[in-house]
Structures are given as structure tokens and as C-alpha cells.
Amino acid sequence: MNQDLLDACAAVPNRVICLVSALAYHNLRTPIPTATGVATDRNA
């Protein structure tokens, strides 16, 4: 697993990895994303 995704999960608990980051997490994309997409609640 990508260490950057693990770090993002640890830094922002109770959030969702989304977009290209989610594709990379599930091995549905071969290039490693240059940024990690994280969704958060609007009211957070």
C-alpha cells in the first residue's frame, strides 16, 4: 500500500479518500497520484 495514503488516513481520521487517490488505493490506476484527495464534512 502507498505510504502517502496511510499517512493521509492517519492525519485526517473519519474522512474519505476520494477521486484518483481512491482509484490508486484499489489498484485501478497505475500511475501514483501526485496528491491525495480527501473528502471532509462541510460543517467540519
12/1 Cα distance (integer angstroms)? 18
Quick one: pLDDT at residue 44?
Answer: 62
Q: Phi/psi of residue 31, each to 5°?
A: -70, 145
Tell me the pLDDT tens digit for each residue of 1-40: 578 777 887 887 788 878 887 887 788 877 766 777 778 8
Quick one: pLDDT at residue 8?
Answer: 80
Quick one: pLDDT at residue 4?
Answer: 77
39/19 Cα distance (integer angstroms)? 9
Q: Is this prediction's pTM over 0.85? A: no
